[in-house]
């Protein structure tokens, strides 16, 4: 029973149960302080395994604030062309549309009213302006309609594309009448984010609906490993699936409505806090800022959390593996012989069950040389120097009374190991007195025998 209670006292099973939940709670709290909101804890855990980060270009790697830098027309005035394009884009929510409308207002152009607005996903917009059908879009729109850029515009549009500008064509009644150049500045922190991911062995991929020359120019500037250009919104999900079929673990970073399916498909979806509600709802991790360097912070947090989980499990398991056998008395059968100066000063030995024998000695002879009546009935045994008298307890009301205090003290001293004894004997000795006291006060308790039988202690 002594060893059973000792095992219960010394064991620490809750350390194993709390090793992982505590790390998760602390990592979530620390990430929130750094502007990283973890909606899905499993997403944070999977982030350490990610080997490919897929960035949406507009608004993530770039500022997402396009400005109209050039206007070219086949015939007519550039301001009139800009006003016609702004009329079509007025009802659009795309960043490029806002840039065109803002440029027309800055030029003081008179923007006509448009009707029948229609957005063509991944291609452009279309509306009726002054009785004619006007469409504004990129190369995908021209290919879909079987149109080509006039030779008078070709030289200008090629130069714009080479420097990384987005090129939009204005089509009126099935004929290309002009083109606009819009540029989006690359975030300075994007270069640092890409470099940091490369140092950690992570591939960086960019996906965009812009023309390939524009995408290639941005990718060359940032040293991005792979580019998917002219991708329609409904195809972004398929691009993530294609990367996963290669065996890559993908984290998608986006901010727009058209990024939501890809965010949900990726192993880890990371939404920019300044993005749309749909994108935020589809992601498992949300960045409060638009700084792409926070993606590196998510990876570092995930890896550090995993290391701390392993450390906690190692310490908790190691403690129990070492302490529980000691508490169960695995070292108790070894006989120990304390030397001079140790507690008790007696030749204490261990019996076959690891319990210290009580140090007793023969009573001193009285002056007459004979043992008196008081000492004749005293139980004693010879075991080195010193004497511990333990007279038999008197019988009161049909049951024996408790022994004198010094007998219990001697018995406790015999059960407590000396300063040089092993840790297992300390646990056994310290708990024996507590077990005896509990047994005396709770005679009906039957838990200890059951524990002894289960542990095989033999007590």
Catalytic positions: 56
> Which SS3 state, helix, strand or coil, does residue 377 take?
coil
CA distance 176 to 76: 12
| Ramachandran bin of 201, using left for φ above 0, alpha for ψ from -120 to 50, beta for the remaining angles | left
CA distance 243 to 399: 84
- The phi and psi torsions of 231 (rounded to 5 degrees) equal -90, 125
- Nearest CA to 281 out of 254, 243, 302 is that of 254
Distance CA 414, CA 343 (A): 9
Angstrom distance (rounded) from CA 139 to CA 212:
10
**Which class for 128: exposed (0-12), middle (13-18), buried (19 or more C-beta within 10 A)?**
middle
DSSP bridge pairs for 55: 206, 253
Number of helical H runs and strand E runs in the chain: 17, 15
Neighbours of 77 (CB within 10 A): 12
Dist. CA 358–CA 423, nearest whole Å = 20
Task: Please tell me the distance from the alpha carbon of residue 302 to that of residue 284, in angstroms, as a whole number.
Answer: 13
What stretches of 22-149 adopt beta strand conformation (E)? 36-38, 52-56, 67-73, 114-120, 124-129, 132-137
For residue 146, the Cα-to-chain-centroid distance in whole angstroms is 51
Residue 197: CA count within 13 A, CB half-sphere: 30
């Amino acid at each position: 029973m002594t060893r059973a209670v000792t095992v219960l006292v010394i064991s620490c099973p809750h350390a194993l149960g709390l090793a992982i939940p505590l790390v998760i709670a602390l990592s979530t709290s620390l990430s929130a302080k750094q502007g990283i909101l973890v909606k899905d804890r499993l997403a944070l855990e999977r982030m350490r395994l990610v080997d490919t980060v897929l960035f949406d270009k507009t608004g993530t790697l770039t500022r997402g604030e396009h400005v109209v830098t050039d206007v070219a027309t086949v015939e007519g005035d550039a301001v009139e062309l800009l006003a016609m394009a702004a009329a079509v884009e007025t009802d659009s929510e795309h960043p490029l549309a806002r840039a065109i409308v803002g440029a027309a207002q800055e030029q003081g152009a008179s923007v006509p009213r448009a009707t029948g607005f229609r957005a063509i996903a991944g291609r452009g917009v279309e509306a009726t302006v002054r009785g004619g059908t006007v469409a504004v879009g990129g190369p995908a729109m021209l290919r879909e309609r079987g149109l080509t850029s006039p030779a008078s515009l070709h030289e200008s549009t090629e130069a714009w594309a080479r420097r990384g500008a987005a090129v939009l064509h204005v089509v009126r009644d099935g004929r290309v009448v002009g083109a606009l150049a819009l540029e989006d500045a690359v975030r300075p922190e994007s270069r640092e984010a890409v470099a940091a991911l490369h140092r950690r062995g992570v591939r960086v991929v960019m996906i965009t609906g812009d023309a390939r020359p524009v995408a290639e120019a941005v990718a060359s500037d940032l040293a991005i490993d792979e580019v998917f250009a002219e991708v329609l919104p409904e195809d972004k999900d398929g691009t993530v699936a294609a990367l996963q079929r290669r065996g890559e673990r993908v984290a998608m970073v986006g901010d727009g409505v058209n990024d939501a399916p890809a965010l949900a498909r990726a192993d880890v979806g990371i939404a920019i806090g300044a993005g749309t509600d749909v994108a935020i709802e589809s992601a498992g991790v949300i960045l409060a800022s638009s700084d792409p360097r926070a993606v590196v912070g998510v990876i570092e947090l995930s890896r550090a959390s995993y290391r701390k989980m392993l450390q906690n499990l190692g310490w908790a398991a190691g403690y129990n593996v070492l302490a529980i056998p000691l508490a169960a008395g695995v070292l108790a059968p070894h006989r120990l012989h304390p030397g001079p100066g140790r507690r008790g000063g007696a030749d204490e030995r261990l019996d076959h069950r690891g319990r210290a024998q009580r140090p007793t000695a023969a009573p001193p002879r009285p002056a007459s040389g004979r043992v008196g009546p008081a000492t004749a009935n005293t139980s004693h045994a010879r075991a080195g120097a010193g004497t511990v008298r333990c007279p038999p307890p008197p019988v009161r009301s049909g049951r024996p009374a408790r022994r004198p205090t010094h007998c219990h003290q001697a018995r406790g001293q015999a059960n407590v190991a000396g300063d040089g004894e092993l840790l297992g004997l300390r646990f056994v000795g310290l708990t024996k007195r507590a077990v005896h006291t509990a047994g005396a006060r709770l005679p009906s308790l039957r838990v200890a025998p059951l524990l002894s039988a289960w542990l095989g202690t033999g007590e």
